[in-house]
Structure 1
Amino acid sequence: MSERVLTPRNRGFLFLDSHPAGCRQLVADMWQDCPAPDHVPSGAGPVALIVGSSAGYGLAATLAGLKRAGIRGIAVSFEKAATDRRTATAGWYRTAATADLARTAGRDLVFLNGDAFSDTMKDRVADLVEQRFGGRLDFLIHSVAAPRRTDPDSGATYASVLKPIGRADRTKTLLFDEQGVPEVREVETEAAGGDDVEQTVAVMGGADWERWIDHLAGRGLLADGFTTAALSYIGSPLTAAIYRQGTIGAAKAHLEATARTLDERLGRTVGGRAVTSVNGAAVTQSSTAIPGIALYTGLLRGVLGDGLVPPIHQLAALWDQFTGAAPLTPDDEGRIRLDTWELADDVQAAVAERWEAATTDTIAGLADLDWFRAHVRRLYGFSVPGVDYGAAVTVDVPWPGQAS
């Protein structure tokens, strides 16, 4: 196994390497931050499938499910191992750390690495549910943010884009130079054209979520009362043109329509439920790619401070609703709203005021830049408190269940 001293190398918000010890500590911190349940789950625990388990809200769903609900089951993600030139992806290291926590907690959680869109992965999961977990699945959380998807039936590959619909959009965005100096700049994103909307919906809409349900139902693996959620985001009017009213927004609308269709079907067939979970803003690897979101999130933190609700707390609340510890309370569109703290009128008014005032000269006094920069670095295992970044670390960490 190779050991290296790792220093962060990045191009904008994208880092070339990840730090295994930092990723492990980050997972441990999330576990510690997750509220303990009023009653410790006993017995084998419900069987859950988390699709997209290694990052962002999917990682929070996995950790909160383990600690809050005592889940067992299967977690699916798509990560890359270390090579001679690069470390493994951050999600690879986070998954290894999550597996150790699950084992310590006495929970049987199997981690699969591969293309969640493929029928091959769906067959692997169905076989595991059938052979290892008693042939019945209680919960499914779908949390996949991907740039492309290959349709298993047609073989066609679709690519998602981040574009407004109807006309080009100009928005403020936040950038940092190589020395970490912030800049507020206006950027223009061209309008969606051709089949951009259809392609993005094919990747980020509800098609794959529904295909998972079809696949598992076809094998007779949905337990009575089976409940499923796809994780989503609505966000602020300040970012609506590029997000909720753009190509990604069209995909989210398709996801919500899929939830309503699945909810009716599951209620009729297994007495189950399907919802979307609308989560609040967070610094994630996918969100930093969206123009304006970095600026908005930094300003939101500047307004709320510690009142910004972390993903692990939001997903703990979702698991409480799933398991009956709290009422399952979807809105009229079938959405569980875990974002009300963000979209409160007074919060949005304060963020909008700061947005208007934000320039390169003023941004340091309006946004919590230290918090934002640290959280971007932590996505890759850097700037995590308690980690000795001067020490050499082993980068060849085995995938859970594989020998070193």
Structure 2
Amino acid sequence: MVIKPKVRGFICTASHPKGCVAHVQEQIDYIQQQITEVPANAPKNVLVIGSSTGYGLASRLVAAFGYGAKTLGLFFEKEASERKTGTAGWYNNRGFEIAADKAGLWHKSINGDAFSHQAKIDAINIIKEQMGKIDLVVYSLASPRRQDPDSAEIYKSVLKPIGEAVTEKTLNTDKGEVHEVSIDPATEEDIQNTIKVMGGQDWELWMNALDEAGVLAEGVKTVAYTYIGKKLTWPIYGHATIGKAKEDLDRASHAIHETLQTKYNGTANVAVLKAVVTQASSAIPVMPLYISLLYKVMKEAGVHENPVEQIKGLIHDQMVNGEAIYDDTRRFRLDLKELDDAIQDKVEALWAQASTENITEISDYAGYKHEFFKLFGFEVDGVDYEEDLDPRI
């Protein structure tokens, strides 16, 4: 079939095999240009929980192609059928595997429910039998639901404010329309469910399982990713269900850190990353408009970074080379350029002006859409999008 993008709301229901592979290779090329020497303290055995898209994929690429590390990646993606493409993450992982095999890098992947006990058992068996002790664990899951591994209860996260309803501008990226969206406040059940899905409980379960299995190395590091934002995103991202989940992630970070410090002289941190176009951020009201405006301002200021640039800055510069920028809660800060007052003031001024009529002029709407389509393997340089492909290959 000739594979074309099919956009429905904030998702694209088709992915391009060769486009996804080419997009992965673009990121590998950047990493190999930026990391030309492997520091002695670079990670050697890396577990990435949520490794098929966005920041998690970038983390695995930096570890493997920056340092030559053995990597074990976990994800939940759908394989292609004769008539339907696989998910972008499925093809991204194939792109990783193809490049890793070519480079002679050891790698294994588990496609399954990372929240389950079985995924932890499978990962630990591979680590024990084939890897050696893990010195870096990256936790980068982004899921709308989670099944409790003990009770089997299914929790679903919601994107709602806390306390009172919120009405804010947003951008329909499919139609290029700026409009207002009203969101009712969360119930207490909504809050607790979102914490169960997006908080730190599963990260703790993973680290406890790895600890009990004896597969963590001396000096082990673990990091989980978050986003904070500022005034414009706070109503839906800060004082909201997601914000409560992120508070729980901070709680887990401190609990894990205490254990790792005591047993391994290790560390656990949350890393605060900047706003970028991802499959997850596209689903959050307000964020598409905010990101479109932010991209314009940060690109004009020469301080814009994409996911792989952010993760290179985190793992290579801050975690390995010791150039860490912490806040008072021990979070790595990769978002300070975004939160700079001058940047935010310009974004706020554009926000006030934004309308359907001027959105293409005052924002980087074109850049947002381009990055969105690249997530699914479209609009990648050098790919023939008229080629007749079997999506299974």
How far does residue 321 in structure 1 lie from its aligned partner after superposition?
4.9
Alignment-derived partner of residue 29 in structure 1: 26
Separation in 1 of the partners of 2:7 and 2:257?
A: 43
Change (3 A) 1:101 1:84: closer
Query: For 2:197, what is the secondary structure of its paired residue?
Result: helix
What are the Cα deviations for residues 277-303 of structure 1, in whole angstroms up to 9, with x where unaligned?
Answer: 111111000100000100000001111
Separation in 1 of the partners of 2:256 and 2:332?
A: 15
Q: Would the aligned equivalents of 2:269 and 2:330 in 1 still touch at CA under 8 Å?
A: yes
Q: Would the aligned equivalents of 1:58 and 1:143 in 2 still touch at CA under 8 Å?
A: yes
How far does residue 344 in structure 1 lie from its aligned partner after superposition?
0.6
Letter in 1 for 2:204: E
Separation in 1 of the partners of 2:253 and 2:210?
A: 16
Alignment-derived partner of residue 164 in structure 1: 161
Change (3 A) 1:48 1:378: same
Are residue 117 (structure 1) and residue 115 (structure 2) matched?
A: yes
Letter in 1 for 2:235: A
Separation in 2 of the partners of 1:347 and 1:5?
A: 42
Counting only pairs closer than 5 Å after superposition, residues 336-355 of structure 1 correspond to structure 2 as 336-355=332-351
Are residue 137 (structure 1) and residue 131 (structure 2) matched?
A: no
Change (3 A) 1:43 1:301: closer
Q: Would the aligned equivalents of 1:64 and 1:316 in 2 still touch at CA under 8 Å?
A: yes
Q: Would the aligned equivalents of 2:318 and 2:325 in 1 still touch at CA under 8 Å?
A: no
Aligned counterpart for 2:217 among listed residues 223, 228, 243 = 223
Alignment-derived partner of residue 400 in structure 1: none
Letter in 1 for 2:288: A
Aligned counterpart for 2:99 among listed residues 94, 98, 101 = 101
Are residue 364 (structure 1) and residue 357 (structure 2) matched?
A: no
Please give the TM-score of this superposition, normalised by the length of structure 1. 0.93
Alignment-derived partner of residue 276 in structure 1: 270
Alignment-derived partner of residue 253 in structure 2: 259
Alignment-derived partner of residue 305 in structure 2: 309
Letter in 2 for 1:217: D
Of 91-100 and 148-157, more deviation after overlay is shown by 148-157
Query: For 1:242, what is the secondary structure of its paired residue?
Result: helix
How far does residue 71 in structure 1 lie from its aligned partner after superposition?
1.7
Alignment-derived partner of residue 282 in structure 2: 288
Alignment-derived partner of residue 391 in structure 1: 387
How far does residue 324 in structure 1 lie from its aligned partner after superposition?
2.9
Separation in 2 of the partners of 1:277 and 1:45?
A: 17
Change (3 A) 1:277 1:323: closer
How far does residue 162 in structure 1 lie from its aligned partner after superposition?
0.4
Question: How high is the sequence identity, in percent, across the aligned residues?
Answer: 38
Separation in 2 of the partners of 1:133 and 1:283?
A: 33
Separation in 2 of the partners of 1:130 and 1:295?
A: 46
Change (3 A) 1:41 1:109: farther
Of 90-99 and 317-326, more deviation after overlay is shown by 317-326
Separation in 1 of the partners of 2:177 and 2:343?
A: 24
Q: Would the aligned equivalents of 2:42 and 2:67 in 1 still touch at CA under 8 Å?
A: no
How far does residue 322 in structure 1 lie from its aligned partner after superposition?
6.7
Separation in 1 of the partners of 2:51 and 2:185?
A: 32
Change (3 A) 1:107 1:220: same
How far does residue 319 in structure 1 lie from its aligned partner after superposition?
1.6
Separation in 2 of the partners of 1:82 and 1:226?
A: 36
Q: Would the aligned equivalents of 1:48 and 1:140 in 2 still touch at CA under 8 Å?
A: yes
Are residue 151 (structure 1) and residue 145 (structure 2) matched?
A: no
Letter in 1 for 2:184: E
Change (3 A) 1:188 1:251: same
Alignment-derived partner of residue 228 in structure 2: 234
Alignment-derived partner of residue 402 in structure 1: none
Separation in 2 of the partners of 1:162 and 1:373?
A: 22
Q: Would the aligned equivalents of 1:201 and 1:254 in 2 still touch at CA under 8 Å?
A: yes
Are residue 378 (structure 1) and residue 388 (structure 2) matched?
A: no
Alignment-derived partner of residue 20 in structure 1: 17
What are the Cα deviations for residues 102-127 of structure 1, in whole angstroms up to 9, with x where unaligned?
Answer: 22232211111000000100000000
Separation in 1 of the partners of 2:26 and 2:151?
A: 43
What are the Cα deviations for residues 318-371 of structure 1, in whole angstroms up to 9, with x where unaligned?
Answer: 222576323444322120001111111100000000001101112122101111
Separation in 1 of the partners of 2:68 and 2:315?
A: 10
Letter in 1 for 2:50: G
Aligned-residue Cα RMSD (Å) equals 1.7
Q: Would the aligned equivalents of 1:227 and 1:322 in 2 still touch at CA under 8 Å?
A: no
Separation in 2 of the partners of 1:341 and 1:44?
A: 26
Of 227-236 and 104-113, more deviation after overlay is shown by 104-113
How far does residue 220 in structure 1 lie from its aligned partner after superposition?
0.9
How far does residue 205 in structure 1 lie from its aligned partner after superposition?
0.3
Q: Which has more helix, going by share of residues?
A: 2
Letter in 2 for 1:33: Y
Are residue 188 (structure 1) and residue 186 (structure 2) matched?
A: no
Q: Would the aligned equivalents of 2:70 and 2:107 in 1 still touch at CA under 8 Å?
A: yes
Separation in 1 of the partners of 2:318 and 2:122?
A: 25
What are the Cα deviations for residues 16-55 of structure 1, in whole angstroms up to 9, with x where unaligned?
Answer: 2110011111111111222432414689961010000011
Alignment-derived partner of residue 401 in structure 1: none
Q: Would the aligned equivalents of 1:259 and 1:334 in 2 still touch at CA under 8 Å?
A: no
Aligned length: 390
Query: For 1:238, what is the secondary structure of its paired residue?
Result: coil
Aligned counterpart for 1:50 among listed residues 48, 51, 55 = 48
Change (3 A) 1:353 1:158: same
Q: Would the aligned equivalents of 2:41 and 2:320 in 1 still touch at CA under 8 Å?
A: no
Change (3 A) 1:41 1:395: farther
